[in-house]
Structure 1
Amino acid sequence: MILLSFLAAALINKESNRTVLVWGSYGELAPGDVIAQSDLIAIRVMLPENSRRYLSVKADVIGTVVLRKLGAHELIPADSLSNAPYGIDTRATPIEVLKNDLPMDLSRGSIVDIYALPNEVSQSAGRGDLTHLVASEISVVSVDQKSKDLGGSVGVVISLPISQVVLVLGEVPLHRIVLVKHG
């Protein structure tokens, strides 16, 4: 009788535990990022009615392109990735930023907003520029750690939508560029 009770309890528990493993983002991902294995974590969740909206760990998502911002440890919706090699037309764009104008822990995959502050060039030209937001929710592709350790300026490569490349590059010589990291 006791054995039968344990078996019944185990069967009920098994039937009620309908969890699935789906992909989640390890860190923040921005539109245009290409998914690598290091960007993914498997998350066990119970999604009885919404499981089709999310990507099972059986799905091969390496190399797909992120279409919308994904937060750290967020479940990855199926419609947030594209198999197209250029789901969003982006360019890896190098910029130079003063060492004190970026977070110390800035690294590949960080999401940043880019601000332009007046500098000596814009002030001596008589421009009345104010501090302004140049681009938001931009993904960092790489940070030149060697230049970061030396001081002065740091080379940072960012992933920009093609429509913003000229705008951002036009701001660099005329302004002091500051990167503000999300989260």
Structure 2
Amino acid sequence: MTLGKNDAPSAVRAQPPGWRDPRLWIGVAIVAASVVAGARIIGGSDDSIAVWGVAGDLAPGVAVDAGDLEQARVRFADPADAERYLRVADELPADLVLTRGVGDGELLPRAALGTADDAGTVALSVSVPGSQVPTSVGPGSRVDVWIVPDSGDDKATATLAVEDVAVIDSPVGSSDFGSSSTDRQLVLGIPDDTDLSDLILASGAGRVMLVGRG
């Protein structure tokens, strides 16, 4: 052993791995897998729904077809709100007619839709006790409207006020409309040649009953 002589090995500069180094390809595979997994997670978290919007101003009574519509993806805070609009996944009926005007860029609400049979109608708002309207009835439903007798009249029978009419809208019930907070307010498309006097009086007295037609 020689005093003062440094026997430490000389330093060797680290070389980056070559393209044939398996460690390089393992790293590439890990990165690629991470990207794919991240994309799937992000894609899976997209809970937006494709609904129809209006491509231009449309007036009441106008027939609606695919050329009048454009797709829009919307994320609804309350899933129940999505049912108020016509989804792209739904089959578009052939004889759609607007029962009220819809502006350019608006989503297409089910409440604004009717058929050619709804032409020549007036919109009538009625109050119906919650127990006298099927829970499935809502905008777009078709119903028969009956007037039930006063509870104190044992001999009277229910009478058919109007048959097979469209439910145009179903606003949130309010105790300010009708006699009870359980009443439902429904807007019906009634033929404009119908005598509405009895129906209006029955509505105010809570004597209207609806029968859904499917």
What is the TM-score normalised by the length of structure 1?
A: 0.48
Where is the strand percentage greater, Structure 1 or Structure 2? Answer: 1
What is the TM-score normalised by the length of structure 2?
A: 0.42
Larger Cα-atom Rg: 2
Where is the helix percentage greater, Structure 1 or Structure 2? Answer: 1
